[in-house]
Homo-oligomer: A and B are copies of this chain.
Amino acid sequence: MSETARLIGLDWGSSSLRATLISAQGHVLSSRQSAQGASTLAGGPAAFCAALDALIADWMTAHPALPMLACGMVGSQHGWREAPYVPCPCDPAALAAQMVAVEIGSGRRLLIVPGLVYQPEGLPPDVMRGEETQLIGALDPDLAEACMILPGTHAKWVALRESGVHGFATQMSGELFALLRQHSVLGRLMPTEAGLPDRAGFAEGVRAARDHGELGLAHQLFAVRTLGLLQRLPASGLADYLSGLLIGHELRAGLAWRARAGLAAAPLVLVGEPALCQRYEWALQDFDQALDAALGNTAAAGLWRLALAAGLV
């Protein structure tokens, strides 16, 4: 390890805790992960402190003066301490100004990044928590504006302008997929074990949404059952057809949202887990949309930039 550690960064979501040791150049020197997400921890501050100790007690001992910064659901109402939602448009300085602190013993504290709220005129508000840090990590000085897509349980479509988050829209496609697969009539004909992705089944779902989406998602979903029941699709392809339908409907709505945000010609950038981004890339091709970049997890880079903006490093 030739570079010196300068920051302990925590990407602390609902279902997992990922810790990174970050160098003065903003590089990830080391990272670790546990399943002690914020929603798994009952018992208040002590439970959160114990989860930190279980994962990185040695880092904290070896680097007693290193600043610590966390993002994600750790800052929610049911997290360690609630951090506010900062309104859009918003840049790193605005996020840095509203961090909240918790004591973690021995006089040390952990700062928590706030979330974002977007209140479009005449529409319900939208919120994010955790993704704001990934977005800051994905900012590129060469991109004056861009439309970013962060796939996931609650996917985010984001309008970036002048190095800040201008607005965003959540799409619950990921949660709908999990719900429908596990708990609905649509999952009954699917094999229990997920196999390799069935790209043909996925493409058929995407194209059904693209070509006939006006029939409604709640109607088109039922085809997952009928195509299986009448053996028009193999059981092994039904989950991918469902995934394609949901992502296809997300693209219909998301690309229209992007156009209304005035970003129809702006670069389109995917940020997130590669296998999931790959599905979006396939679906975007079926919608004749060029993708400008696909980035992996940018949370550590975002935590570093926010630590800089807050004067922590």
Residues of A in contact with B (beta carbons under 8 Å apart): 77, 117, 123-127, 154, 169-173, 175-176, 179-180, 182-185, 208, 212, 214-223, 225-227, 229-230, 232, 246, 249-250, 252-254, 256-257
Establish whether residues B124 and A171, one from each chain, have CB atoms under 8 Å apart when the complex forms: no
User: Whose C-beta in chain B lies nearest to the C-beta of A224?
Assistant: B124
Establish whether residues A230 and B117, one from each chain, have CB atoms under 8 Å apart when the complex forms: yes
How distant is A87 from chain B, measured CB to nearest CB, in Å? 11
How distant is A231 from chain B, measured CB to nearest CB, in Å? 11
Contact for A125 among B126, B208, B226, B250, CB less than 8 A: B226
A124-B170 CB under 8 A given contacts A217-B218, A218-B250, A256-B214: no
Interface residue SS majority, chain A: helix
Contact for A212 among B123, B175, B217, B226, CB less than 8 A: B123
A172 to B254, CA, bound (A): 22
Establish whether residues A127 and B226, one from each chain, have CB atoms under 8 Å apart when the complex forms: yes
User: Whose C-beta in chain B lies nearest to the C-beta of A188?
Assistant: B78
User: Whose C-beta in chain B lies nearest to the C-beta of A185?
Assistant: B175
Q: Which residues of B contact A257 (CB under 8 A)?
A: 215, 219
Establish whether residues A249 and B216, one from each chain, have CB atoms under 8 Å apart when the complex forms: yes
Contact for A124 among B77, B183, B232, CB less than 8 A: B232
Q: Which residues of B contact A125 (CB under 8 A)?
A: 223, 226-227, 230, 232
Q: Which residues of B contact A117 (CB under 8 A)?
A: 230
Establish whether residues A219 and B172, one from each chain, have CB atoms under 8 Å apart when the complex forms: yes
Establish whether residues A208 and B171, one from each chain, have CB atoms under 8 Å apart when the complex forms: no
Q: Which residues of B contact A249 (CB under 8 A)?
A: 216-218
Establish whether residues A172 and B221, one from each chain, have CB atoms under 8 Å apart when the complex forms: yes
How distant is A205 from chain B, measured CB to nearest CB, in Å? 10
Establish whether residues B171 and A219, one from each chain, have CB atoms under 8 Å apart when the complex forms: yes
